[in-house]
Structure 1
Amino acid sequence: MSKVAEKVADSLYRKDYISEEEKEIYSYGYEILIDNIGKTFLLLMVGAIIHQFVATLVFVVVFTTLRSYCGGYHASKTWQCNLLTVILWGIVIVGTYTEAIIKQCEALTIAIAVVSELVIYQCAPVEHQNKKLTNEKKRGTEDVH
């Protein structure tokens, strides 16, 4: 992935779309983009194979939206991030297979959902050394809490 990203950045540099100083930034950005597109494609394919395409699509949309607005855990290695994403997806898919159990424990399911929302409301957005929060976002969270 990194070699493909570097080639794309080099191509942009040779065509004078970006400066030499920007090559590393573009290469990193393309590497992340390629990784995320690949991960999404693979999740959707596996979801389709196990007849859980809709659940997988909902997971990808919700997970991506939550991460983009709330921040979250940032793994130090790409494989750790990918593994955590697959584990979370797996939990969602297992949850779809245990629908009968969840229906029997409806009160527990609602309680878990409410607690989850409260945790997100209280903790989001999450600041990380690689994703600093702007003063505006910090002020916005202070006003809410």
Structure 2
Amino acid sequence: MISELSKKIAAYLIENGADHDDEEVLTYGAECFLNLLISDGLLLVIGLFTHHVVSLLLWAVSFSLLRANLGGLHALSHFWCILIGTGIGASSMAVSPVLEIHPVAAVLCAVAGAIVAVVIAPVPHKNKMYIQAHRKKMKVKVAITAAIECVMICAFYFVDPIYAAYIACGVIMAVILGIAGTIWNPR
């Protein structure tokens, strides 16, 4: 369903002025957008039902900003990507309260995760070889993103510890997927 809709979106964009040579890129971008829209939409619904909208949004931003340049494990289909992504986001509601209770451990885990993220970035994948050409630039982006997120975690512990815990959880989960991708992604 997502693949077909993505092809239609790409065709529409080409009909309205996009370069035909970019069809594959447009299709891939539409697939990513639709996956994100569905996953984040489901996460928003979960947040509404559980009264954790702001917390889950903070988690999603933290997770997504780091994962965008770090990369990580990729699911075998759109269905599994959406299911696993939503599951990981929803599981942050169970993990974050533990991190809230142990702020020092949460900060140390996030900082350790940030260091690991910089070391492994960008995570290789056979379908994403173009990113390896920009390896140094992506490492810098991961380092800056991770550093800002670690500072935000520390600052939020003084403002609202549960928000700090959700941000830390986003960093930790993005790094775990990065490590998993380093191990299991096809090369």
Q: Which category describes the TM-score, using the shorter chain as reference length?
A: 0.7 to 0.9
Aligned residues between the structures: 138
Instruction: Structure 1 unaligned segments of length 5 or more: list them.
Output: none
**Separation in 2 of the partners of 1:73 and 1:53?**
26
Q: Which structure's relative contact order is higher, taking Cα pairs within 8 Å and 6+ residues apart?
A: 2
Aligned to 2:127: 130
Judging by fraction of residues, say which structure has more helix: 2
Q: 1:64-86: CA deviations, max 9, x gaps?
A: 11111211112222223223312
**Separation in 2 of the partners of 1:112 and 1:45?**
29
Structure 1 residue 35: deviation in Å?
Answer: 1.9
1:1-145 equivalences in 2 (<5 Å): 1-15=2-16, 17-19=18-20, 21-98=21-98, 102-103=100-101, 105-132=102-129, 133-138=131-136
**Separation in 1 of the partners of 2:118 and 2:106?**
18
Secondary structure of the residue aligned to 2:127 is: coil
Closer, same or farther: CA 138–93 of 1 in aligned 2, 3 Å: same
Closer, same or farther: CA 9–135 of 1 in aligned 2, 3 Å: closer
Identity of aligned residues (%): 25
Secondary structure of the residue aligned to 2:47 is: helix
**Separation in 2 of the partners of 1:61 and 1:107?**
22
Q: 1:33-90: CA deviations, max 9, x gaps?
A: 1221121122112212210001111111111111112111122222232233123212
The RMSD of aligned alpha carbons is 2.8
Structure 1 residue 117: deviation in Å?
Answer: 2.6
TM-score, normalised to structure 2, is 0.60
Q: Indicate the larger mover: 43-52 or 73-82.
A: 73-82
Structure 1 residue 17: deviation in Å?
Answer: 3.5
The one-letter code of the counterpart of 1:121 is: V
TM-score, normalised to structure 1, is 0.73
Does the 8 Å contact 2:69/2:122 carry over to 1? yes
Closer, same or farther: CA 28–125 of 1 in aligned 2, 3 Å: closer
